[in-house]
Amino acid sequence: MKKVAFILLVVITILLSIYNVTYASSVDSIISGADQFMQAGKDGEYKGFSWEGITNASDLIYNTLLIIGVIVVVVVGVILGIKYMTSSVEEQAKIKETLIPYVIGSITIFGAFGIWKLVTGILENVN
């Protein structure tokens, strides 16, 4: 189980490192960009911030993490179920002990996503 988790972590790290792009610019261009941003905000012309953008990003993150969470819960549940069916009585007792953290973790994962969706729904109504 530790090997699978390690391999999954390595794959996710590799995938995330592919999109890591660094842009270099001079200090003067950063300062002038900040001045333009501040002036546009004072004039009411800045349109870069939108609730739709934040909502879309939040939905993307929510859906991605929910899919990963469901996959992990299902895979671990299947592995525990197969181990339970093919093990001896003593091993079944040990597997039952691991079911408690599994169930608590599953409830935590889905509860966190429920809270996230509730908070984003409330924030959408505030806008």
Cα angle 35, 38, 42 (rounded to 5 degrees) comes to: 135
What CA–CA distance (Å, rounded) separates 37 from 69?
39
Q: Domain limits at 48?
A: 9-126
What total number of domains does the chain contain?
1
Q: Classify residue 18: in a domain, yes or no.
A: yes
CB 94 within 8 A of CB 58: no
Q: Classify residue 2: in a domain, yes or no.
A: no
Of 70 and 53, the one with more pLDDT: 70
Q: Classify residue 110: in a domain, yes or no.
A: yes
What CA–CA distance (Å, rounded) separates 78 from 57?
32
* pLDDT tens, position by position, 75-85: 999 999 999 99
The total number of residues shown for the chain amounts to 127
What CA–CA distance (Å, rounded) separates 72 from 67?
9
Q: Classify residue 1: in a domain, yes or no.
A: no
Q: Classify residue 118: in a domain, yes or no.
A: yes
pTM of the predicted structure, to 2 decimals: 0.53
Q: Classify residue 4: in a domain, yes or no.
A: no
